[in-house]
Amino acid sequence: MIEFKNVSKSFWTGTQRKVILDQASFRVELGESIGILAPNGTGKTTLINMMCGLEKPDEGEIIRSSRISFPLGFMGGINGKHSAVENCRYIARLYGLDPDYVEAFCRYICDLQEYFDMPLSTYSAGMRNRFSLALLLSLEFDIYLIDEGMPNTTDPEFNRKAGTVLRDRLQQGTVVIVSHQANVIEKFCKTAAVLRDGKLLMFNSLEEAKAVYDYSKQSIFDADVN
Ligand SMILES: Nc1ncnc2c1ncn2[C@@H]1O[C@H](COP(=O)(O)OP(=O)(O)OP(=O)(O)O)[C@@H](O)[C@H]1O
């Protein structure tokens, strides 16, 4: 479970205060995957980062009582000066897992050949993406955080191997996904929320959330001209 209790978060830009959350309270329960809809630049990444502890709230409390993933595709936990082997074994120890298992799992999924023993700084962006996703899949979480859809790789063999494990993990776990598009969310969740004016409005169905979200997004060109 993740619970936000009266959480406020804003950024000072030098000329104005950008409010992301304003005394917001809500819960994400285990087994209830949820999609959060919000337009670009309104705080989706900040919200996901607060859920996993990468960002701190200005006020209020965030209670986590489950194993919560880092955001899918997040690279911050890996060190470019070290090889995939060293990164795997370090992360395994951090999470209290068997380093041999995590190393073997990532070696198999990524198939990076001799690069697996070379520093990550020598990898292409695609190779780094594959390694970071494999690392996340080698760990087990109760709640998976996804920022704007799936990380994409063009390697079909990797997509096949990683895709099977990812599907499994997401089916067994709870997913929190943030996006500006309802069609990204509907693949994962039946319930949804809308981030608006610093509050998270929760709905029982994606349809209800979509209706509120679409209405609040209406531009002047959508106005009824009678
Ligand atoms: N450290 C910071 N200092 C100042 N402003 C920030 C900081 N981090 C984020 N912001 C601002 O807060 C707002 C929300 O940022 P965030 O990245 O969470 O939005 P988002 O909804 O994920 O955006 P996008 O859809 O474009 O990825 C943006 O206006 C951003 O410029």
Could you read off the pLDDT of 33-50 as tens digits, one per residue?
999 999 988 999 999 999
Atom of ligand 1 nearest to the CA of 13: 4
Are 88 and 110 contained in the same domain?
yes
* Poorest-pLDDT segment among 81-85, 105-109, 110-114, 218-222: 218-222
Are 159 and 88 contained in the same domain?
yes
Question: Per the domain annotation, does 77 fall within a domain?
Answer: no
Which of 12, 16, 36, 45 is the pocket-test mutation for ligand 1 (most atoms within 8 Å of CB)?
Answer: 45
ipTM: 0.96
Is 86 a residue whose pLDDT tops 50? yes
Q: What is the pLDDT of residue 151?
A: 66
Mean pLDDT, residues 13-31 taken together: 94
The answer to whether the beta carbons of residues 209 and 34 sit under 8 Å apart is no
Q: What is the pLDDT of residue 222?
A: 52
Is 225 a residue whose pLDDT tops 50? no
Q: What is the pTM of this model?
A: 0.89
| Long-range contacts of 203-212, Cβ-Cβ distance < 8 Å, separation of 24 or more | 206/35, 206/182, 209/35, 209/37, 209/182, 210/37, 210/182
Q: What is the pLDDT of residue 154?
A: 79
Q: What is the pLDDT of residue 74?
A: 83
Nearest partner of 117 among 106, 132, 125, 126, judged by Cα? 106
Are 162 and 182 contained in the same domain?
no
Q: How many domains does the chain have?
A: 2
Could you read off the pLDDT of 100-153 as tens digits, one per residue?
999 999 999 999 999 999 999 999 988 998 999 999 999 989 999 998 866 667
Mean pLDDT, residues 47-72 taken together: 95
Q: What is the pLDDT of residue 156?
A: 86
Are 15 and 50 contained in the same domain?
yes
Q: What is the dihedral of CA 5, 6, 7, 9, to 10 degrees?
A: 180
The strand pair at 17-28 and 2-12 is best described as: antiparallel
Q: How many residues would you count in the chain?
A: 226
Is 218 a residue whose pLDDT tops 90? no
| CATH code, domain carrying 18 | 3.40.50.300
Atom of ligand 1 nearest to the CA of 38: 21
Question: Per the domain annotation, does 74 fall within a domain?
Answer: no
Are 163 and 207 contained in the same domain?
no
- Per-residue CA distances from 45 to 20, 30, 50, 70 (Å): 10, 21, 9, 12
Pocket lining for ligand 1, CB < 6 angstroms: 11, 13, 18, 20, 38, 40-46, 180
**Cα(172) to centroid of ligand 1, in Å?**
31
Are 134 and 57 contained in the same domain?
no
Are 160 and 101 contained in the same domain?
yes
Containing structural domain, residue 26: 2-69+177-222
Are 118 and 134 contained in the same domain?
yes
Is 215 a residue whose pLDDT tops 90? no
Which residue's structure tokens are 């795997």?
Answer: 88
The strand pair at 143-147 and 174-179 is best described as: parallel
Could you read off the pLDDT of 151-163 as tens digits, one per residue?
667 788 888 888 8
- CA 14 from chain centre, in angstroms, equals 29
Atom of ligand 1 nearest to the CA of 40: 25
Are 97 and 64 contained in the same domain?
no
Are 164 and 112 contained in the same domain?
yes
Q: What percent of the chain has pLDDT over 70?
A: 93
Mean pLDDT, residues 173-185 taken together: 92
